[in-house]
Structures are given as C-alpha cells and as structure tokens.
Amino acid sequence: MEDLKLKEIVKEKYGEIAKKSLKGEVSGCCSSTCCSSDDISDMSESYENLSGYNPDADLSLGCGIPTEFAAIKQGNTVVDLGSGAGNDVFVARSLTGEKGKVIGIDFTETMIEKANLNKQKLGYENIEFHLGDIENIPLDNDLADVVISNCVLNLVPDKNKAFSEIYRILKPGGHFSVSDIVVKGEMPSEFKKAAEMYAGCISGSIDINEYLGIIKKNNFTDIKIQKEREIILPEETLRKYLSEEEYEQWLNSGSRLLSVNVFGRK
C-alpha cells in the first residue's frame, strides 16, 4: 500500500479508540476496533505500580514500558512520539519532576483531545501535547534530552525518516529508548498485506537486524536491545490471514514476533 493510505488506516483506527475512550468506553489496540474481529494478543504491560500512572490515559496500546530503561533525570526535556492519551508522558513527568518538561506528539486529533483532557484534570503545567507526524516532527533541533515511544515506530511507513527526525530533535549526547514490535526471521506476506493487522502494530514490523541497521544508518551510537519479549499470536488469528500451507510454514520457520526495548545515543 502507499504510505499515505497506511497512515490513514492507522489514524482512522486509533481515532476510533480515542473516541470510545472519550465516551468512557475501554478499547485497547487488540480489540475489534483496532486489529480485527479476533483478539490478536495483549501486547501491553502493566503500568499500575508506576509513579505518575494515570488509568484514564492508559488505553492499552503499548507493547512495553519505554520509561523503564530511558534513564530520565530530574529536569530533563522528554519527547514521547505517538503519545496517545498521555500514558507514557505522565509517567515520564514523574521522573523529570516539576523542573523538567515532557512533550507528547501524536497525529490523531482525537488522541490529542483526550490527552489534553487528562492533562487538565491533573493540572500539570510542564506538559505539552502537539499534533504532528513522526516523519516530520514539529519541534526544534537539539531540543530533547530523551526521546521515548511505545509501539508506534513500527506503524510508521518510513522508519528511516522517523529515526532521522529523532536524531535531529535530540541534544548532542541525548538518547532514545523505545518499545516496538519487530520480527526475528521472515513475516508471511499475507501479514504484510493485512491492513487490520497493520493498524494493530503487527504487519508494519520489520526484521530486527533491519531495524537496528536503520538506527545505525542514522548515526546513533551505543545501540542496544534493553529487553526482549516474544509476542504469541493465537491460532485463530494466524488461520484468518494464512492458508494452511502458510500457517505450517510460519510454525516451522522459527520466525518470531518480538516486543523489544531499544536504546540509542546521539
């Protein structure tokens, strides 16, 4: 699919989730409004014991906890890419303290609306939410000490452009810590064609070595995988998208879907 069409699919699906949340309905990434009629898997991790956690901002759309390894310090400026309803922004704010600043970027208008409502309820003044595209981040150069993101970069069609933008907005010596979905091995072609699974964070994923190669290409150093966790897809989901032959090939290929936390420094 063309990049623009893919972006519209993601915006539409996540917009639906935000609208449901504004109405008080709970809807995560792997519900029927996002991925498919099947429950693909619960990729998110629990935030309940984290300082700064706000249940109203947790739409269960992530695949990790990027702040866990982000080494955020008091007074830091942190940028969260694909900030959604603000879940990771509020956790990051508890680490930067009142002297720091946290900026959330999201390209879904309804998500920005939901995030700002959450911000108003909490009364924080050192948090901002901006409408913007990760391939063209609406922020100045050398702004951030830390960039975080949670299961969003795999939804971006041009990942090279996304990481070049991360490099641009980071201060010299700054770093990123992102949670994302990658593939170890080969993803079936039918997964790559499935728009529903793309919006559900799966078929936009690329091979881990290609992913790390893009990061290295954009001049980051100290690149490392901080955490790795396998994502198990239910049999009924696999059979929905794959023929019997493809299903058997996937099972016997040794390929895996992984949730990873990745670090890189400018």
- Report which of 25, 196, 17 is spatially closest to residue 111, judged by C-alpha positions: 17
Helix axes 109-122, 3-22, angle to 10 degrees: 40
The answer to whether the CB of 43 falls within 8 A of the CB of 231 is yes
* Cα 28 from Cα 18, distance rounded (Å): 10
Predicted confidence band of residue 1 (pLDDT cuts 50, 70, 90)? low
- Report which of 188, 10, 237 is spatially closest to residue 106, judged by C-alpha positions: 10
Residue 92 in tokens:
């990051």
- On the question of pLDDT at 35 being above 50, the answer is no
- Residue owning tokens 């993601």: 10
Average pLDDT over residues 196-202: 67
Predicted confidence band of residue 204 (pLDDT cuts 50, 70, 90)? confident
The answer to whether the CB of 105 falls within 8 A of the CB of 139 is yes
- On the question of pLDDT at 27 being above 70, the answer is no
Whole-number average pLDDT of the chain: 87
Q: Which residues contact 264 (CB under 8 A, 6 or more apart)?
A: 175, 176, 215, 220, 221, 222, 223
Lowest-pLDDT range, 27-41, 54-68, 163-177, 196-210? Answer: 27-41
pTM score, whole prediction: 0.89
CATH of the domain at 25: 3.40.50.150
Q: What is the pLDDT of residues 89-135, one digit of tens each?
A: 999 999 999 999 999 999 999 999 999 999 999 999 999 999 999 99
Q: What total of structural domains would you count in the chain?
A: 1
With H, G, I as helix, E, B as strand and everything else as coil, classify residue 156: coil
Q: What is the pLDDT of residues 55-76, one digit of tens each?
A: 888 887 888 999 999 999 999 9
Predicted confidence band of residue 187 (pLDDT cuts 50, 70, 90)? confident
The answer to whether the CB of 239 falls within 8 A of the CB of 37 is no
Enclosing domain of residue 161:
3-265
